[in-house]
Amino acid sequence: MARTPSATSRGTSPKSAARSSEKSSKKSSAKKSGPVASGGKKIRYAVVGLGHISQNAILPAFKHAKNAELAALISDDEKKLKKLGKLYGASHLFSYDEYDDCLKSGEIDAVFIALPNNLHRDYTVRAAAAGIHILCEKPLAVTEEECEAMIRAADKANVKLMTAYRLHFEEANLQAVKLASSGKLGEVRFFNSIFSMNVEEGNIRVKRETGGGTLYDIGIYCINAARMIFQDEPLEVSAATATKQGDGRFTEIEEMTSATLRFSNDRLATFTVSFGVSDISSYRIAGTKGDLTVEPAYGYQSALKHQMIIKGKKTQTNFKQRDQFAAELVYFSDCILNDKQPEPSGIEGLADVRIIRALYESADGGKPVKLGVFTKETRPTMQQEINLPPITEEPPLIHAEPPHR
């Protein structure tokens, strides 16, 4: 299942616009941390794409995001537009053909893009050109070139671009980063993760044209977590893919991928992701003095849990379920209102996409792929934690199905 590697050199840092964006982010973030009072102002959003993630998580999240307002919906499904618009109080409804009209309407300040991966670049660049801020679901795009074009467009227009990494605001994962850096586990030597689900046949995640694949959809969580834990970028990656013969779900993409990321100081991160087995969501950090297991680790519909063992002594910490999507909205809205560059910026999205592309290149070529220097100056910290109550009622779904069985 060959995927054409990016024309961008694996050994280069992001281009100049990207670098300046990252430096700006570091400078702005140093001024203030965490959401601050907005004086009652709210950022008006258009949610672009009304699939399962939008209906199940993004639209309900506006209830808890006090500095954000759902102003518009964009979809070609009239039934979705009418019913969801009425349910969530979005008075401005547009088709995809009317996207530019929405951007120029004066009714919105930002878009939350929840479209198939292959559409992220186009809808981001058009929003930036109209002076609209962009919160874009991960992966940021399918290739490095697409990510860089999005970053340049946002920088040129002086608008904010944030990659929607909800776990950058979630306590269990931020605490894991803090513990790994604290020395309590000793020298952290390796990271291992498993993330899997049984995806329904025909789901967008198994379609190559739209940017489907195990690494783009769930492998990105493992990659991002490893980078957070090690506070570093990998130097070399290798991967292997596999598909069970006769399973009609996987005619275009792989069923599962196993990968190894080699970091500086001989540290390793390994993970396996699959669309063909039961639900698993966990990672384990091993240090010279102890280890930490986070399980569940990546979900948003359940409580998360830590189990730490240091010198034979076991402790367990439970983290209550939260509204992780509302946290994203609150944080990004605060960045807009107070002119701060978001930490999970376009650079953060690019960092993971370059690794995903290199992993597919490795799997296709059957050998490791070296990665050159990649400058990433800001990392998530506990200062970004945002605790908001979970959605307690099951949101109604209109022409949308859960991705997995």
For the stretch 239-271, pLDDT in tens is 999 998 899 999 999 999 999 999 999 999 999
> What is the side-by-side order of every strand in the sheet holding 256-263?
313-319, 304-310, 290-294, 276-287, 188-198, 267-274, 256-263, 236-242, 369-370
Q: With cut-offs at 50, 70 and 90, classify the pLDDT of residue 375.
A: confident
How many Å apart are CA 354 and CA 349, to the nearest integer? 9
- pLDDT of 319: 96
Q: With cut-offs at 50, 70 and 90, classify the pLDDT of residue 182.
A: very high
Tokens of 120: 């992220």
Residues 220, 221, 226, 227: is their CA dihedral positive or negative? positive
- pLDDT of 388: 97
**For residues 346 and 376, which has the higher predicted lDDT (pLDDT)?**
346
Q: Give percent above pLDDT 70 in the chain.
A: 90
Read off the pLDDT of each residue in 215-232 and give the average, rounded to a whole number: 98
Read off the pLDDT of each residue in 284-297 and give the average, rounded to a whole number: 98
How many Å apart are CA 253 and CA 225, to the nearest integer? 23
CA 88-93-98 angle, to 5 degrees, is 150
How many Å apart are CA 220 and CA 86, to the nearest integer? 34
Read off the pLDDT of each residue in 369-374 and give the average, rounded to a whole number: 95
CB atoms within 10 A of CB 148: 24
Residue labelled with tokens 């199905």: 401
Mean pLDDT, the chain, whole residue set: 91
* DSSP conformation class of 6: P
* DSSP conformation class of 373: -
How many Å apart are CA 165 and CA 139, to the nearest integer? 9
- pLDDT of 27: 40
Distance in Å from the first CA to the final CA of the chain: 25
Q: With cut-offs at 50, 70 and 90, classify the pLDDT of residue 405.
A: low
Read off the pLDDT of each residue in 300-313 and give the average, rounded to a whole number: 95
Residue 212's contacts (CB-CB under 8 Å, 6 or more residues apart) are: 117, 204, 205, 206, 252, 253
Tokens of 1: 């299942």
pTM for the complete prediction?
0.92
Q: Does pLDDT of 36 surpass 90?
A: no
- pLDDT of 33: 39
* DSSP conformation class of 72: E
Is the CB of residue 242 less than 8 Å from the CB of residue 229?
no
- pLDDT of 18: 44
Q: With cut-offs at 50, 70 and 90, classify the pLDDT of residue 350.
A: very high
Is the CB of residue 262 less than 8 Å from the CB of residue 235?
yes
Domains in the chain: ranges and CATH: 16-167+325-344 (3.40.50.720), 171-321 (3.30.360.10)
Q: With cut-offs at 50, 70 and 90, classify the pLDDT of residue 2.
A: very low
Residues 275, 279, 283, 284: is their CA dihedral positive or negative? negative
Q: Does pLDDT of 289 surpass 60?
A: yes
Q: Which of these ranges, 135-144, 149-158, 393-402, has the smallest mean pLDDT?
A: 393-402
Q: Does pLDDT of 39 surpass 90?
A: no
pLDDT, tens only, 42-57: 999 999 999 999 999 9
Q: Which of these ranges, 13-27, 125-139, 233-247, 295-309, has the smallest mean pLDDT?
A: 13-27
